[in-house]
Amino acid sequence: MNRMLCTCALGLLIATTVLAKSTAQPLIVVEDRGGALALPYYQALNAESEGAPGPTAPKRTPRIGGLAEAEAAMLPVRSARLSPGNEPRRVIRAPGLTPLFLIGDDDRSRAWLLQRRGALQELGAMGLVVNVVSPEALAALRRLAPGLMLSPASGDDLAQRLGIRHYPVLITSTGIEP
């Protein structure tokens, strides 16, 4: 019994040593698209120091900005497949789809939003601002429709999937309407 216990303990010691050595290797960069370094996040995961034993220096915690900062970093948003105009009304079948609408930072979209904001709120529709340049322009659109969620996002993928070419447009589980 003692011999089996010693063998198990030796096996665990070897396994943890191999595992510790394999996790201490430097990271391999697969693709680099620029932006902020993620290294501080990975260093925080490595609890052991690679050098001599003893207390490690305090690690700098990376700064994570707020929602406004993250949103500003997403701008400008441009949807190459979409432009202001009249989208023909048509029937679709998309059961379970939350109502959503596409607008841009243009006169046509602003007028559409003002005219339909009550109906959009009743539907619980979410808005995607598919063409907007600045945080100020996005804030101005939000002031036109308090209570509606407006998020900057490219509409190109949605436009391709649904065959939409123009905005403003309302998309529900049963149809697309200007």
Question: Domain map of the chain by residue range?
Answer: 74-177
pLDDT, residue 175, reads 96
CATH assignment of 74-177, among 1.10.3300, 3.30.700, 3.40.30, 1.10.530: 3.40.30
Where do the DSSP E strands lie in 18-157? 83-84, 90-91, 100-104, 126-131, 149-152
Where do the DSSP E strands lie in 32-138? 83-84, 90-91, 100-104, 126-131
Phi, psi of 169 (to 5 degrees): -155, 145
Which stretch, 8-12, 28-32, 37-41, 146-150, has highest mean pLDDT? Answer: 146-150
Q: What is the mean pLDDT of the chain?
A: 80
Give pLDDT tens digits for 39-76: 665 565 655 545 545 555 555 655 556 777 888 888 99
Give pLDDT tens digits for 107-137: 999 999 999 999 999 999 999 999 999 999 9
Q: In whole angstroms, what is the distance from residue 111 CA to residue 117 CA?
A: 10
Report the first-to-last Cα separation within the chain, whole angstroms: 79
